[in-house]
Amino acid sequence: MSILTFIFILPLLAAMALAFVPRNLAIVMRAAAVGVTFVTMLLGVLMFWQFNGAPADANGYRFVTTIPGLGAESLGIACKLGVDGLNVGLVLMGAIVAFAAACCSFEIKTREKEFYILLLTMTGGILGAFMSLDLFFFYFFHELALVPTFIMIGVWGRGEKKNYATFQITLYLSIGALLALIGLIALYLQLPTDSRTFDIPTLTQYFAEHTMAYSAQMFVFPLLLLGFGILVSLWPFHSWAALGYGSAPSATAMLHAGVLKKFGLYGLIRVAIPFCPEVARMHMQFLAWLALGNVLYVGWVAMRQKNLNLLIGNSSVAHMGMIFLGIASLNLIGVTGAVVIMVAHGFLAALTFGLSGYIYSQTGTLEMSELGGLAKKLRFVGVAFVMAAMAGCGLPGFLNFVGEVSVLFGAWQVNPLRGITVLAVWGALIIGAVYMLRAVRTVLHGELSAKWENLSDADLWRRLPHALLIASLLVFGFFPRLLTDKVKPVTEQIVKMATAKAPDSNGTVVLVENK
Footprint of another protein on residues 209-268 (CB under 8 A)? 216, 219, 236, 238-239
Q: Which of 89, 264, 410, 465 binds another protein (CB under 8 A)?
A: 410
Q: Which of 331, 356, 361, 362 binds another protein (CB under 8 A)?
A: 331
Q: Which of 54, 405, 464, 500 binds another protein (CB under 8 A)?
A: 405
Nearest to 197 by CA among 495, 157, 19, 207: 207
**Strand (E) or helix (H) holding 514:** none
Q: Which of 185, 455, 464, 500 binds another protein (CB under 8 A)?
A: 185
- Please name the amino acid found at residue 279: V
Asked if residues 230 and 182 have their Cβ atoms less than 8 Å apart, the reply is no
**Stretch binding another protein (CB under 8 A), from 63-71, 87-95, 263-271, 357-365:** 63-71
Q: Which is nearer to another protein, 105 or 233 (CB)?
A: 233
Q: How far is the CB of 155 from another protein (least distance, A)?
A: 5
Say whether 134 sits in a helix, a strand or coil. strand
**CA 154, CA 145: separation in Å to the nearest integer?**
15
**CA 18, CA 21: separation in Å to the nearest integer?**
5
Which of the residues 267 through 286 are near another protein (CB under 8 A)?
Answer: none
Q: How far is the CB of 396 from another protein (least distance, A)?
A: 4
Q: Which is nearer to another protein, 100 or 220 (CB)?
A: 220
Size of site (CB under 8 A) for another protein: 100
Q: Which is nearer to another protein, 7 or 129 (CB)?
A: 129
Q: Which of 131, 333, 399, 469 binds another protein (CB under 8 A)?
A: 333
When asked if residue 492 is in the footprint of another protein (CB under 8 A), the reply is: yes
Helical packing angle, 239-247 and 162-188, nearest 10°: 130
> Which whole-number Å values give the CA distances from 239 to 95, 149, 172, 232, 242, in the listed order?
28, 17, 9, 11, 6
When asked if residue 406 is in the footprint of another protein (CB under 8 A), the reply is: yes
When asked if residue 375 is in the footprint of another protein (CB under 8 A), the reply is: yes
Q: How far is the CB of 175 from another protein (least distance, A)?
A: 5
Q: How far is the CB of 356 from another protein (least distance, A)?
A: 19
Q: Which residues contact residue 91 at a Cβ distance below 8 angstroms, ignoring those fewer than 6 apart?
A: 4, 7, 44, 47, 48, 83, 127, 130, 131
Q: How far is the CB of 491 from another protein (least distance, A)?
A: 9
3-class DSSP string for 52-118: CCCCECCCCCEEEEEECCCCCHHHCCCEEEEECHHHHHHHHHHHHHHHHHHHHHHHCCCCHHHHHHH
Q: Which of 60, 426, 457, 464 binds another protein (CB under 8 A)?
A: 426
Nearest to 296 by CA among 468, 425, 195, 419: 425
When asked if residue 303 is in the footprint of another protein (CB under 8 A), the reply is: yes
Q: Which of 409, 457, 482, 503 binds another protein (CB under 8 A)?
A: 409
When asked if residue 56 is in the footprint of another protein (CB under 8 A), the reply is: no
Q: How far is the CB of 290 from another protein (least distance, A)?
A: 13
**CA 212, CA 230: separation in Å to the nearest integer?**
24
Q: Which is nearer to another protein, 146 or 251 (CB)?
A: 146
Q: Which of 44, 71, 258, 346 binds another protein (CB under 8 A)?
A: 71
Burial class from Cβ neighbours inside 10 Å (0-12, 13-18, 19+) for residue 36 reads buried
When asked if residue 109 is in the footprint of another protein (CB under 8 A), the reply is: no
Q: Which of 181, 232, 248, 330 binds another protein (CB under 8 A)?
A: 181
Which of the residues 340 through 369 are near another protein (CB under 8 A)?
Answer: none
Q: How far is CA 160 from the centre of its chain?
A: 27
When asked if residue 397 is in the footprint of another protein (CB under 8 A), the reply is: yes
Q: Which is nearer to another protein, 84 or 114 (CB)?
A: 114
Q: Which is nearer to another protein, 34 or 321 (CB)?
A: 321
Q: How far is the CB of 474 from another protein (least distance, A)?
A: 10
**Stretch binding another protein (CB under 8 A), from 1-9, 269-277, 359-367, 383-391:** 383-391
> Which whole-number Å values give the CA distances from 206 to 140, 156, 191, 197, in the listed order?
23, 46, 8, 11
Q: Which of 229, 274, 392, 480 binds another protein (CB under 8 A)?
A: 480
Dihedral (CA of 56, 58, 60, 61) sign: negative
> Which whole-number Å values give the CA distances from 432 to 266, 402, 422, 428, 436, in the listed order?
24, 16, 14, 5, 6
Asked if residues 156 and 108 have their Cβ atoms less than 8 Å apart, the reply is yes
Which of the residues 112 through 171 are near another protein (CB under 8 A)?
Answer: 114, 136, 139-141, 143-144, 146-147, 150-151, 154-155, 163, 166-168, 170-171
Say whether 446 sits in a helix, a strand or coil. coil
Q: Residue ranges of the alpha helices (H) in 256-331?
A: 262-267, 273-275, 277-292, 299-304, 308-329
Cis status, amide bond into 277, omega within 30 of 0: no
Q: How far is the CB of 46 from another protein (least distance, A)?
A: 26
When asked if residue 9 is in the footprint of another protein (CB under 8 A), the reply is: no
Beta bridge partners of 83: 62
**Stretch binding another protein (CB under 8 A), from 91-99, 268-276, 386-394, 450-458:** 386-394
When asked if residue 53 is in the footprint of another protein (CB under 8 A), the reply is: no
Q: How far is the CB of 232 from another protein (least distance, A)?
A: 16
